[in-house]
Amino acid sequence: MKFRRWAAVGACIAVAGAALVAPSIASAQEPHVLEHKLRVTPTSAATTSPPKPDESLTLSDALPEPLTASSYDDPGERLALPVVTGTLLETATSIETSLKDDPQFNVVEILPDRSGIGVWWFGEPNATLKELLTNSEVAISVQQTKFLPADLRKARDQLLAEHESLIAIVTIPKEGDGVEVQLTSNADAGSRRAAEDAVIEEFSQRVGLPVTIEGRATVDLASRKNDIYVLGGAKVWRWNGSTLVGSCTTGFPAQNAAGAKGVMFAAHCQSGQWVRYPNDTGATVFPYGNNGTSSLSTVAYDGAIIETTFNNPGFYTGNSTSATYTALNGAATPPVGAEICYSGQPSGLICGNIVQSKSTVNVTGFGSVTGYLTQQSVNTPAVGNGDSGGPGYMLVNVGGTLKRYGATIISATVNASVNCSGEPGFGDPNVSPYFRWCSSTVLSTGVTDISSALGWTLTTTP
């Protein structure tokens, strides 16, 4: 298995509060290339370079009317597993919050049939876990891990610190039977691979815990088209003052304690000025949400904020050009076994993405990113270039009503190919910086983790 990670392209600062005029777009613009295969690349699936404007537009100062509850659509998602109930999610979240720092606790899992919760634990339950078991409204089973999770986490962190250049992803399986790693894919020669395998084996023996190599992998940073409402799931472009140099997808509307507005998306999309380019055509771009600047970010969870003057509590669903949007009802921390629906702009709405683990991905030149690895249930390509920053959400049954909770931000794909959903794949990353590749295996990062790191929370409606 190979792991590569590429970022979507971006641009620098431009004047906010007015139309940004692009008299020409440099189609030969070369994206900035970061070291060690962290590449900044364009993500348009329709062209091999950023589009050229073809007509003049004017900027309207009028803002859209605020959306009301009746404005939102029901996207009718097709899930692979039964919907999680609100009680089940609340219980899983409570367990995670109460036990996350306990050395005996590994992970909480929502069972595939949604009949209850599994807590993966080492040894006898302590007083905190016993109290949770006694007071729970849902069935909780305690599953034994083979090793103490605290020892596994220590080994994981030590492995990353000692062998950063070798590690693409490191995971502690829910069973707690060791540490699983996937190595970077830059070792092509057999002798070099054998030497790296020996390094991991030596480390395993030294720490006294199984460290298994699951393969080599490429992790691709994943990067509808005229979002005047400031919602999640919308296409935004980076702007350098004269040129559009790449696009990403907005994640979820957000706000801070001071009342500032914005949208949460991916940090690897880069800071700077973000704009709306209506339907990828015309001679004028518009500061996204009448502001569009991004400077606040966290590498650890690949999260960032685009600041705007307003937003609305919802996100786009449907296909890559959809005008359908639905309400955002809350935020959730997804347990293992949860089903995530991704709604990046180029790929469109793809559900059936089952959380396999919470893993740490090492991106040389960018940093270690912690998030959730998901696998699409029937291997449908779920995410690709241009989807970066987009929303990952859960459907939750709350008292007989389906609610949509923001859970993750799209960060990366694993072992991508040219086969894509939505906008078609094209190009070859080994030949040209302009390409779109996709995968059914996705890394997305937790919105609650990003919120804690940045001090911004999702803008929601009941």
**Arithmetic mean of pLDDT, 97-124:** 95
**CA gap 315, 305 in Å, rounded:** 16
- Residue found under tokens 């923001």: 406
pLDDT tens for residues 39-49? Answer: 222 222 333 34
- E-assigned strand segments in 145-196: 167-171, 179-183
What is the C-alpha to C-alpha distance for residues 209 and 1, in angstroms, rounded to an integer? 23
pLDDT range class, residue 118, cuts 50, 70, 90:
very high
Burial of 378 (0-12, 13-18, 19+ CB in 10 A): exposed
Q: Given this model, what pLDDT does residue 38 score? A: 24
pLDDT of residue 164: 80
pLDDT at 182: 87
* 280 pLDDT above the threshold of 50: yes
- Residue by residue, DSSP assigns 283-298 as SEEEEGGG--EEEEEE
Residue 3 — pLDDT band, cuts 50, 70, 90?
very low
pLDDT at 14: 22
What's the DSSP call for residue 32? Answer: P
Q: If we measure between CA atoms, which residue out of 212, 411, 224 comes closest to residue 300?
A: 411
Of 124-128, 149-153, 214-218, the least confident: 214-218
Judge contact between 24 and 426, C-beta under 8 A: no
pLDDT for the residue 433: 75
Paired sense of beta strands 401-414 and 219-221, if any: antiparallel
* SS3 state of residue 241: coil
pLDDT at 222 over 60: no
- Residue type for 132, please? L
Please state the rounded mean pLDDT for residues 222-248: 88
For β-strands 325-327 and 314-316, DSSP reports them as antiparallel
Express as a percent the part of the chain with pLDDT over 90. Answer: 62
Mean pLDDT of the 414-434 span: 87
CA angle 442, 256, 450 (to 5 degrees): 25
Q: Which residues contact 402 (CB under 8 A, 6 or more apart)?
A: 83, 395, 396
Among 52-61, 164-173, 212-221, 334-343, name the most confident range: 334-343
Angle (CA) 388-76-269 rounded to 5° is 5
Show Cβ contacts of residue 445 under 8 Å, excluding neighbours closer than 6 positions: 266, 301, 302, 303, 369, 370, 371, 372, 408, 409, 411
pLDDT above 70 coverage of the chain, percent: 80
Per-residue pLDDT tens over the stretch 363-406: 656 778 999 999 999 999 999 999 999 999 999 999 999 999 99
pLDDT at 191: 60
Quick one: pLDDT at residue 183?
84
- State residue 207's pLDDT score: 93
Range scoring the smallest mean pLDDT among 10-19, 193-202, 226-235: 10-19
Query: Is 24's pLDDT higher than 50?
Result: no
CA distance linking residue 156 with residue 148, whole number of Å: 13
Q: Is the pLDDT of residue 23 over 50?
A: no
Q: Which residues are CB-contacts of 279 (< 8 A; sequence separation ≥ 6)? A: 225, 226
Q: Across all residues in the chain, what is the average pLDDT?
A: 82
Dihedral angle, C-alpha 241, 243, 247, 249, nearest 10 °: 40
pLDDT of residue 34 exceeding 80:
no
Return the pLDDT at 66: 54
